[in-house]
Every structure is written in C-alpha cells, then in structure tokens.
C-alpha cells in the first residue's frame, strides 16, 4: 500500500482550498446576474467592474489550481480533493453573512483571498 507524503497532503489541501474558493466565487457571482437581481448597493458601473474582477480572479484561481493538480498531484488525489471542495462550497458559502458579501468591501475581500490563494499555489510550483 503506497504511503502519501506530507508534501502531497499539503499540496492537496492547498489545491482543495483553491477549488473551494473558486466554487464559492462562482456561487457568489451567480447571485449578481441578471443585473436586476443584484442588491441595490451593487448596481453602479464601479460595482460591475468589481464583479468582473471577482469573476476573473475566480477563473484565474481555478486555472492555477488545475495546473497545480496536473503538475504536482496524482489524478485520484486531485479528483477527491477537488470533488470534496466543490461539494462543500455551497454548504459553507451560505454560512457567510449576505451583508458582507453584497457590498463592495465583501467583493474586494473575496477577490483578495482568491489572489492570495493563487499566490500560494504559484509558490508551490517553484522549484
């Protein structure tokens, strides 16, 4: 029976966190479309740019997570970690207060977490 190394566990946890964040961003962004469904605080032009920034951060994070999984993880580990993260994201994302997520500061905070996670994954890929 093969033994999983500690570095594989840490990389799979980072990968799972990245997939969780990307899935959470997709869930959050889906609440902003169509435009009339957005909260009143997020209907301006600046807010549209922030929502676009959030979506781009989530997409970039997901691409980097897939790259990390492809280069550093075996496929069974990547599928299990990513699948658990995708299943957990909707359940845990609904716990977050809507008052926080439906404001500019909430969008910027989630995008900052995604950017920090992407930076962490990029550091894992350095030799």
- Establish how many alpha carbons lie within 13 A of residue 33's alpha carbon, considering only the half-sphere containing its beta carbon: 9
pLDDT (tens digit per residue) in 22-50: 999 999 999 898 888 888 888 899 999 99
The rounded percent of the chain whose pLDDT value lies above 70 is: 99
**pLDDT (average), residues 80-97:** 95
**End-to-end Cα, the chain, rounded Å:** 28
Instruction: Give the pLDDT band (50/70/90) at residue 2.
Output: confident
Instruction: Give the pLDDT band (50/70/90) at residue 1.
Output: low
Torsion of CA 50, 111, 37, 95, to 10 degrees: -160
pLDDT at 126 over 70: yes
């Amino acid at each position: 029976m093969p033994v999983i190394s500690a570095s594989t566990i840490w990389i799979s946890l980072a990968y799972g966190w990245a997939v969780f964040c990307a899935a959470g961003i997709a869930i959050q962004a889906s609440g902003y479309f169509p435009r009339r469904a957005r909260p009143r605080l997020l209907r301006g032009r600046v807010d549209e740019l922030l929502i676009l920034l959030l979506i781009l951060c989530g997409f970039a994070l997901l691409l980097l997570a897939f790259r990390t999984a492809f280069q550093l993880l075996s496929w069974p580990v990547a599928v299990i970690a990513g699948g658990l993260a995708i299943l957990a994201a909707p359940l845990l994302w609904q716990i977050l207060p809507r008052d926080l997520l439906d404001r500019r500061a909430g969008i910027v905070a989630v995008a900052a977490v995604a950017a920090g996670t992407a930076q962490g994954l990029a550091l894992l890929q350095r030799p």
